């Protein structure tokens, strides 16, 4: 089961429905920030299970009762919720969470039965954490640690975090050297740097002045440096604005993000470029829409 789960989640990027906006790194990080402090040190009293997601939890829900929740962590678009001090010492570990294409985590004070799209709830002495996912592409799976399967297999192929100080334009240039793959798709692959989902890859390429169809292997180190700086700027701004709420995303307290109103090119096909007034264009790359300005972004 773990092997099939890993293949499915890692392959989610190739899903034909993935052109729909989904929670990207800023939205997942904002979710983490919203739950980390309130739940750090909380005691897990019970687990509510609703309609199953595509994969089972991987542990009996009763085995989690009495666990102490640790500080929520993030790796790429995954959240890790450590659980310790269990009555069964052999069950120590945590839950690896993925929001899929439409999922969200929310804190509330209730214990009512779960709704049609609510699949998991952790009832604690500080409130309830509920995973909602209308399309059921998300996941909540138990792992003994981040170094054990299934967490290990899910995370081992991820590239560097975008704000990792060791990451540089030279890193991108070396990793992409000789690749004919379009730079937009190379960014989305996530094997060199994580966090550049569809929205933010489009935005970063615009700010860096790079056409999304440019082969990644043709970029000089200087252009890679410019692209990395642009990606960091875009992600930083999105974090400040609460992420993007194009469809389903809300933070852990039910608040919409506001980045979408500031987008340079994403979702603006036919509208004038905010810099040069040239109409923004749209092209499809790997079943996803790319938005760019033909004047500001040349190959």
State the catalytic residue, choosing from 21, 23, 150, 212: 23
> CA 276 from chain center: how many Å?
32
**Which one, of 94, 202, 68, lies nearest residue 151 by Cα?**
94
- For the stretch 292-296, contacts whose Cβ atoms lie closer than 8 Å and that sit 24 or more positions apart, written own/partner, are 292/202, 292/205, 292/206, 292/211, 292/212, 292/265, 293/206, 293/265, 296/206, 296/209
CB atoms within 10 A of CB 286: 16
Per-residue three-class SS string for 250-284: CCCCCCCCCHHHHCCCCCCCCCECCCCCCECEEEE
Q: CA–CA separation, 88 vs 65, rounded Å? A: 10
Q: CA–CA separation, 240 vs 257, rounded Å? A: 9
**Which one, of 2, 8, 12, 9, lies nearest residue 149 by Cα?**
2
State the catalytic residue, choosing from 32, 74, 77, 226: 77
77 labelled catalytic: yes
Terminal C-alpha separation, the chain:
44
153 labelled catalytic: no
288 labelled catalytic: yes
51 labelled catalytic: no
- Helix (H) / strand (E) element for 233: namely helix 221-240
Residues with catalytic annotation? 23-24, 77, 288
């Amino acid at each position: 089961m773990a092997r099939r789960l890993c293949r499915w989640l890692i392959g989610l990027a190739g899903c034909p429905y993935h052109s729909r906006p989904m929670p990207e790194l800023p939205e997942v990080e904002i979710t983490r920030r919203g739950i980390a402090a309130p739940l750090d040190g909380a005691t897990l009293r019970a687990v509510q299970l609703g309609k199953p997601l595509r994969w089972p939890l991987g542990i009996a829900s009763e085995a989690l009762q009495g666990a102490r929740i640790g500080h929520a962590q993030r790796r790429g678009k995954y959240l890790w919720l450590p659980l310790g001090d269990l009555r069964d010492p052999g069950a120590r570990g945590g839950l690896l969470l993925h929001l899929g294409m439409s999922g969200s985590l929310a804190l509330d004070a209730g214990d009512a039965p779960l709704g049609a799209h609510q699949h998991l709830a952790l009832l604690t002495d500080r409130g309830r954490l509920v995973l909602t996912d209308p399309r059921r592409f998300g996941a909540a799976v138990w792992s003994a640690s981040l170094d054990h399967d299934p967490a290990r297999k899910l995370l081992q192929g991820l590239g560097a975090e975008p704000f990792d100080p060791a990451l540089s334009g030279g890193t991108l240039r070396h990793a992409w050297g000789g690749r004919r793959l379009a730079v937009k798709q190379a960014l989305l692959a996530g094997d060199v740097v994580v966090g550049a989902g569809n929205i933010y890859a489009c935005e970063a390429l615009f700010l860096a002045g790079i056409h999304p169809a440019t082969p990644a292997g043709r970029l000089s180190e200087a252009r890679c440096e410019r692209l990395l700086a642009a990606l960091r700027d875009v992600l930083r701004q999105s974090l400040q604005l609460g992420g993007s709420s194009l469809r389903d995303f809300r933070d852990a307290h039910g608040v919409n993000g506001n980045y979408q109103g500031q987008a340079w090119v994403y979702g603006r096909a036919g509208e004038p470029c905010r810099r040069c007034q040239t109409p923004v264009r749209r092209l499809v790359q790997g079943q996803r829409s790319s938005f760019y300005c033909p004047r500001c972004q040349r190959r």
